[in-house]
Structures are given as C-alpha cells and as structure tokens.
C-alpha cells in the first residue's frame, strides 16, 4: 500500500511516498532554515508564504523522482497539527485537493505521533518487524515545540505521561544558541561548538520529583547569567565550554527522566524521536544509561520530514480510519494526558 505524505507544520515543506508504512520510495524536504536564520527563528508569515511557493514543486519532485503518478497512491496523509496555523493550512489544502480530484482516501495525522513513526521507516530492526514484543513501549518526543513522554500501548493508542512545563528541549537549544551568538537552529550549532569544549560549568538540572514532566527554562536562564558573567564575546573556547555544559545539562535531565519512567512502567523498549534526537551526545547517553532497548531513527529522519507522516498515515488507514474533507487544522493539537483518558 503506497501512501503520499505531506508535511508543512513549521519550516520544512516535505513530500514522500512510503510503502506499507516502512519502505521509503521517495522523500523530499525543502528546508526554509536559511530564510529564517537571518531573523534568529521561524517567522510564521514568512513560513506560510514559503510553503505556498514550495509545496507543488516538492510534491512534483517527489513523484517525479520515481515516475509514480498521483493516481497510483492508495492514500494521502497530511499533518493537521500541532504547528503554525498558516503553514498547516497549505499542506492540508493541497492534500484535500489531491484526494478530492483523484478520489484517494486521505487521513490527517498528528505531527507528534508521526515523529514516533520515524522509527518504523527503512527499519531492519528486529523489534519493529516483531511488533508483538514491542508494545507497550515508552516514547520520548523531543523537538522544537514539544518534549513529551508518551506511553504507547499499540498503534494509535497513546497516553501522555510527561511534558515540558515551560520550554521544549529544542526551543532551549535555540534560545541558548542565540544567547551565545551561535546562530539558528540552535541544536546543531550548540552540538558542533560542544565538540570543541568541556562541560566545565555546573548548570542546574530540574528534577521535578514525583513527576515525569521536564523543565528547561531554569537552565536557559542560568546560561544567560553565565554568558554575561563570563563576558564571552570573542572567546571561542569559553563559548565551547558553555555550549558543552549546556548540552550536558539538557542531556542529563532528559536521560534520567526517560530511564526512570521506563523502569517505573516496566516497558522493554524506548522509542526516541523529534529534532533533538539527532543530538549524538543524547543518543549515546541514552543508549548507555538505559537498561532496556533504545530505538532512535537515523539522523536524517529525526527532524521534520514527510516519510514519517506517510508511515503514521498508513497505520491509521489500515486500521480503517480516514478523514473527511471537512477536517480542519488544529495548531495546538497534543497527546491526551493519562489522567484525561482514565
Ligand atoms: O522535530 P523538528 O525538526 O521540528 C519540530 O517539530 O519542532 O525539531 C527542530 C528542533 C530545533 O529546535 C533544533 O534546534 C533541534 O530540533 N535540533 C537539535 C539538533 N538538530 C535539531 N537539537 C539538538 N541537537 C541537534 N543535533
Ligand atoms: Zn517536528
């Protein structure tokens, strides 16, 4: 079953075709990072306009790469939230138009849930093939807008058990990079700077005992004070040490909380996803600290892409779900909290 995935929730315009939820036939991502970099972050209005310019060429390129025609698709999956309203509308309207014109079933997918499905893509991992042993598992989704711990009982069955109380992990990286004058997006530049430094500064790690929630605003504020106290201007080695200290504080908090949640819940697998999971220090630390199997997608599939949207859409479509053409975008969409479900 071939599904066309479309993604336009933030600053990447993307289209992909995925077969049976696992095999990527084609995946095209047009990044707007360079356009937004000059403003130090994503400008919503600029993002929507750029999606309008890119969406058709991106879909054409994805299909042209393989010679597949739209009419050969068995389904269309599109992000309906969370994300920037104007940006989401572009992908949603294109998906509805193709669905109506070609009479192809379409399904709206939650972008956060889709990040988890990056773990199914091009996977030769035994656990993904033998799913009977995978569930229930714990999912860690760490991106620019979210930091969630989600208990996954099966396909489409999610309960959020932890979330950030303030900044998302990726947002903290982005703000820290701005404070240190390193540019945008912050995660990759902090990671790069950290390779030249040592985590010699002690920055706070919020514990939030008796909770699986995260908090990253304290470490960001501490970094701001440290950067001003240390007068970092023109001192690359000190910037590198501060970047390494910051990265290490975020990695420590994420790893400790995730491992504790996995142990408490008795799961055998942790699925990691979202842009911040591209961070090598985090990938290594989680693998080392976790007593259970840790699965992290290849780096190119950690950040926003449409293959994960197509994969997630496939699992909804095979479960018999599809969306009607009056589906609307939900910019503030999230996972249901456990308390709200039970
Ligand atoms: O998942 P994503 O592409 O978009 C959202 O759905 O938010 O995540 C983007 C976020 C940005 O905040 C970016 O700084 C962060 O992921 N990120 C990283 C790395 N690569 C991207 N954070 C830490 N280390 C990285 N290597
Ligand atoms: Zn994302």
Q: What is the DSSP string of 14-75?
A: EEEEEETTTEEEEEEEEE-HHHHHTTTS--HHHHHHHHHHHHHHHHHHHHHHHT--GGG-SE
Per the domain annotation, does 191 fall within a domain? yes
CA of 238 to the centre of ligand 1 (A): 24
One domain, residues 291 and 311: no
Which amino acids bring their CB within 6 angstroms of ligand 1? 10, 143-145, 170-171, 173-174, 185-188, 191, 274-276, 278-279, 303-304
What's the confidence (pLDDT) of residue 204? 93
In a domain, 308, yes or no: yes
Q: Are residues 193 and 75 in the same domain?
A: no
Question: Do 151 and 64 fall into the same domain?
Answer: no
Mean pLDDT check: name the lowest of 59-63, 118-122, 137-141, 274-278: 118-122
Whose CA is closest to atom 16 on ligand 1?
Answer: 275
In this predicted structure, what is the pLDDT of residue 21?
A: 94
pLDDT at 209: 85
pLDDT classification of 341: cutoffs 50, 70, 90: low
Residue 215 belongs to some domain of the structure: yes
Query: 256 and 164 in one domain?
Result: yes
Contact 94, 341 (CB under 8 A): no
Cα 140 to averaged position of ligand 2 atoms, centre (Å): 13
Is the confidence at residue 321, as pLDDT, over 80?
Answer: yes
| Res 291: pLDDT | 97
What's the mean per-residue pLDDT of the chain?
Answer: 93
118 and 189 inside one domain: no
Same domain as 154, residue 49: no
| pTM recorded for the entire structure | 0.95
| Residues 219-233: tens digit of each pLDDT | 999 999 998 887 766
310/292 same-domain check: no
What's residue 339's pLDDT?
Answer: 72
Q: How far, in Å, is the centroid of ligand 1 from the Cα of 187?
A: 6
Q: What is the Å distance from ligand 2's center to 111 Cα?
A: 6
Note whether residue 337 is domain-resident: no
Strands annotated E in the chain: 2-7, 12-19, 23-31, 75-81, 106-110, 137-142, 147-154, 157-162, 269-273, 293-295
**How much of the chain, in percent, has pLDDT values that exceed 90?**
86
Same domain? 186 vs 221 = yes
Question: What is the arithmetic mean of pLDDT over 292-318?
Answer: 96
- Do 34 and 179 share a structural domain? no
Residues 283 and 313 in one domain: no
User: Looking at the domain assignment, is residue 328 inside a domain?
Assistant: no
Judged by its nearest atom, the ligand closest to the C-alpha of residue 275 is 1
Predicted confidence (pLDDT) per residue in 153-199, tens digit: 999 999 999 999 999 999 999 999 999 999 999 999 999 999 999 99
Give me the pLDDT at residue 125, please: 54
pLDDT recorded at residue 149: 98
pLDDT tens digits for 251-288? 999 999 999 999 999 999 999 999 999 999 999 999 99
Read off the tokens for 231.
């007068």
Number of domains in the chain: 2
pLDDT at 159: 96
Q: Are residues 216 and 239 in the same domain?
A: yes
- Is 86 domain-assigned? yes
* CATH at 191: 3.30.420.40
**What pLDDT does 126 receive?**
46
Per-residue model confidence as pLDDT tens digits over 63-107: 998 888 988 999 999 999 999 999 999 999 999 999 999 999 999
Residues 104 and 165 both lie in one domain: no
248 found inside a domain: yes
The domain containing residue 284 runs over which residues?
A: 137-296
- Give domain status of residue 340, yes or no: no
Residue 65, pLDDT score: 81
Rounded distance between C-alpha atoms, residue 45 and residue 305, angstroms: 20
Percent of the chain with pLDDT over 70: 95
Query: Which has more pLDDT, 208 or 327?
Result: 327
């Amino acid at each position: 079953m071939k599904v066309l995935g479309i993604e336009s929730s933030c600053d990447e315009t993307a289209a992909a075709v995925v077969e049976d939820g696992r095999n990527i036939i084609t995946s095209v991502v047009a990044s707007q990072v360079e356009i937004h970099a000059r403003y130090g972050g994503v400008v919503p209005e600029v993002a929507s306009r750029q999606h309008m310019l890119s969406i058709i060429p991106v879909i054409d390129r994805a299909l042209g790469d393989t010679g597949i025609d739209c009419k050969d698709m068995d389904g269309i999956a599109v992000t309906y939230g969370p994300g920037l309203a104007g940006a989401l509308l572009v992908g949603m309207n294109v998906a509805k138009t193709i669905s109506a014109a070609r009479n192809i079933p379409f399904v709206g997918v939650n972008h956060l849930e889709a990040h988890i499905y990056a773990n199914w893509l091009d996977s030769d991992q035994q656990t993904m093939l033998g799913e009977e042993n995978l569930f229930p598992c714990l999912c860690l989704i760490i991106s620019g807008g979210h930091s969630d711990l989600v208990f996954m009982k099966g396909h489409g069955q999610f309960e959020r058990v932890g979330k950030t109380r303030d900044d998302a992990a990726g947002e903290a990286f982005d703000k820290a990079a701005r404070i240190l004058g390193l540019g945008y997006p912050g995660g990759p530049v902090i990671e790069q700077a950290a390779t030249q430094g040592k985590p010699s500064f002690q920055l706070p790690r919020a514990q939030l005992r008796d909770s699986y929630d995260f908090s990253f605003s304290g470490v960001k504020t501490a970094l701001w004070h440290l950067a001003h106290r240390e007068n970092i201007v023109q001192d690359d080695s000190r910037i590198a040490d501060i970047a390494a200290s910051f990265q290490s504080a975020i990695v420590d908090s994420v790893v400790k909380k995730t491992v504790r949640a996995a142990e408490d819940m008795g799961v055998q697998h942790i699925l990691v996803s979202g842009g911040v999971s591209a961070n090598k220090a985090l990938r290594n630390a989680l693998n080392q600290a976790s007593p259970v199997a840790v699965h992290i997608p290849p780096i190119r599939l950690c950040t926003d892409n449409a293959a994960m949207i197509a994969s997630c859409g496939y699992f909804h479509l095979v479960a018999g779900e599809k969306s009607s053409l009056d589906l609307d975008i939900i910019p503030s969409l999230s996972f249901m909290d456990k308390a709200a479900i039970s």
